[in-house]
A and B are shown apart, each in its own frame.
Chain A
Amino acid sequence: MVTVSIHNLTFTYPQQSRPVLNAVNASFPAGQFSLITGVSGGGKSTLLKLIAGLLPTDAPGITFNDRSLTEVPATQRSKTVAMLFQEPSTQFTMDTVANELQFALENQQVPADEIPERLTAALDFIGITALRDRKLMHLSGGEQQKVALAIIVAMDSAVILLDEPFASIDPTTRLVLLQRLAQLSRERGKTVILADHDLSGYTDYVDRLTVLADGHLTHLSPEATQERLATFAPAKLRLQHVTVPADNQEALIQGTQLSLTANGRTLVTPQNLGLFAHHTTLITGPNGSGKSTLFRSLVKLGHYQGVITYDGTDINRLKRRPYARQVALMFQSAATQFLNVTVDEELTLSLKNSYADHFTPAMVTQLLTELNLADRREQIIYTLSSGQQKKLQLLCMLIMAPDVLLLDEPFKGLDYASLQTVIQILKRVQQDLDLTYILVSHQLSGLDTFIDYHLQLSDQHLTYQGVRA
C-alpha cells in the first residue's frame, strides 16, 4: 500500500519560460482509483512522468510513503511505480507477449523458477492467456494495452500510472481495462492514477477526480467527483442541416462490398458505400472503430477487402502519383506531413506544387494573419505548439488543393477561436475551388453549417444520418 504525495512541485521544461506545473500539492491515497483531467497540453503527461521518475528533475517533492524514488534501489523502482503509455506499440522490448513479461520479471531479479507461475497468473488476471505466444507487433492497440497492464500486474507495482491509455482503443477493451483497474485498486490496494481528457464512462470505477488547470491541481470531493462525471456528456452532435444522400446520386468514391480489418479484428463488415463530390462529409464513431483505417484505405495505404472506385476506376489500377493529386489525406499527426524545417519553406513548397493557380503569396500572407501565424514564418516547425502545427498543416494541404481532401482530426488541439477561423477558411476555399471534404473529428461544436452529410460508424457499419433529402 503506497500513498503518493506531491509537495510544492514546480516543473519547467528546458528552454521554456512558463512552468508546466506550478507549486503543485497533492496526495493520491493507496487503494484509490484517481482520475486526472485537464485540457490536452496542460501538463498531465508531465506530471505522470515526474511521478514515474522518467523526467530528470532536481526538485524533490514527490514521495512514496514519505520516501522519494531516488532512495529506492534502481532495480526495485518498478515494484513501486510503473506506467502504461498512450502509444501502445512503442512500449515493448521483446517480440512475444510471454518474452516481454519474462523480460520485466528478470529485470526485477525474480528467481527464475518463480517467473512462469507469475507470468501465467498475470495473463489470467487480465484474461489474455490466449495471447501468450503471439507477436506483440501483430496485436491490436487494445490488446497491446492489455498486455502492458498484465506486465504491471506481474511486476506487482504498488502505484500504477496510465497516460491517456484509451486514446486509440475500442470501447469493449476500455471497459475490460477499467474493470481490472478498479479491481486492482479495491482488492489489491494499488494506487491507480489515470490521466484522460474525456470523462465519459468512468462513473462506476473512479473514486476521485483531480483537475489540472493552469499548472495547478485541485482535488474534488467524492460528491463533486460523481456530479462532475455524471454531468459530463461526450460532446453531442447537433447537426440540423445534414441530409441522407438520394439513392440515385452519383458517388465520386464508391466502395463495393467494402470491408476493413486490422490485425485480425473486423472493423467494417462488407457494405456498399458512396462518398459524394463537392460536399462535406463528416465521419464519426468510437475510438479504434476504423475511421483512420478507412482513410488509409482510400489513399491506398491500408488493406481492405472489396473494391473502391474513384470516378468509376478501381483505385488499385490508378498510379500513386496522379491519384495523390486527386485524393489527399491530411494525417492526424501534423508532423508526418512536413518536409522542411521552417514555416516559410513549407508554404513555399506547397505553393510551388499546388494543383490550382488560385493561391498567391499575398493570399497566403493574408491566411497566415487570420490564423495568427504571420509572425512565425521563420520559426522551425517542430518548435510550434501542436495547435499551431495543425493550422500550418491544414494551410499547406489547402494550398495543394486536391479534388478530394480527407481530413483526419483537423481540429485536434485547436482553441475555439482558431477553430472558427479554420472552418471559415475551409468553407471559403471549398466555394472557390469546388473541393470535396471528408472529415473525421471528435470535435463537433461549430460544425453545424459546415457539414452536408454525416456518416456514423457503429456496430461495424457506416450509415448516413439525418433526414431524407
Chain B
Amino acid sequence: MKPLEFSAPTTLNAAIKLYSANGGGAGLMAGGTDLLVQMRSGRAEIGHVIDLKRIPELNVLSYDKKRGLRLGAAVACDVLGAFKPAKAAYAALIEGAELIGSTQIQSRASVGGNVCNGSPAADTICSLIVLGAQCVVKGPQGKREIPARDFMVGPGKTALRKGELLVEFRIPPPPAHSASGYLRFIPRNEMDIAVVSAAANITLSANGKTCTAASVAIGAVAPTPLLVEAAGKALVGSTLDEAALEAAAAASRKAARPISDMRGTKEYRTHMAGVLTKRAIAMALQRARGA
C-alpha cells in the first residue's frame, strides 16, 4: 500500500495551501465516514489526508433571527441535532442530518461531508435546497457562494473548483408562518440509503389559509438532487388542498428521471417521488399551522 501523509491544519488558509500543493491527490476529511471507506475499497486514491476538524471556520454553529443559520462544514450531525435553535426553524435539515447512519456515524459524519460526497441520495441536500442554503466555499482564488441547488453537478461531482473547499452553509431565517419537512423511503426502519427522498418548505399567509411560497426538492431520482420548480408553483396561491398536492406530486413525477437498480426500479422511484412530495408538503403544512 502506498504511504499516506496526514495533516490537521488549524487555520483555513493553511488548509487551502496544503490542498492546492497536493493537486488532486489529497483527500479532505471531516468525519471520515465516507472517505476512509472509499480509501479502503480503492475507490479513492489518496496520498494525503487533510483533517479539517481543527479549523474554527468549519466548526461554526450559530443562529440569529435576522441572519439565520451558519453551519460549519465539519460540524458533526449529532452536534447539529442537539442545537436547539435550529430544530423548528430548519426542521427538514435536522431531519435529514439525523437520518444519516447509526449513533457511531452521527458522532462523526457532517452535513458538509454529506454534500461534498456528491451523492444524489444524500439525506441533507434536498433540505438545504428547499431552505435556500448558500454554500460558502474558499480556494486559492478567494471566497464565493454556491446556491445549494447548484452544488451537486453529477454523481460524486460537485461545483467545487480545483483547490476549493466547503467552509460553511448559510441558511436564511425562516419567514413567519413557514415550515419544512424531509422524508425518505427505505425498505427498512433505519440505517439505509434513500431509494427516493423529498423535502418541502412552505410559507402560509398570516391567516394560515393560503400558501404564499413553496419549494420542493427530490433526491435519488436523477444524477443530481432536483429542485422541482413546477411543484412549488403548483402550490403557491392554493389552500394546499388535495388538488394542489396532486399537482405538485405530478410535477415531481415529471421531473424525476431515475435509473433502475437493486434498490428500486425506474417506475417505482417515479411513483414514489410523487408520494413523498405530497407527504413532505403535508408534514410541512401541519408544522406551519401548528407553529
* Binding partners A and B: no
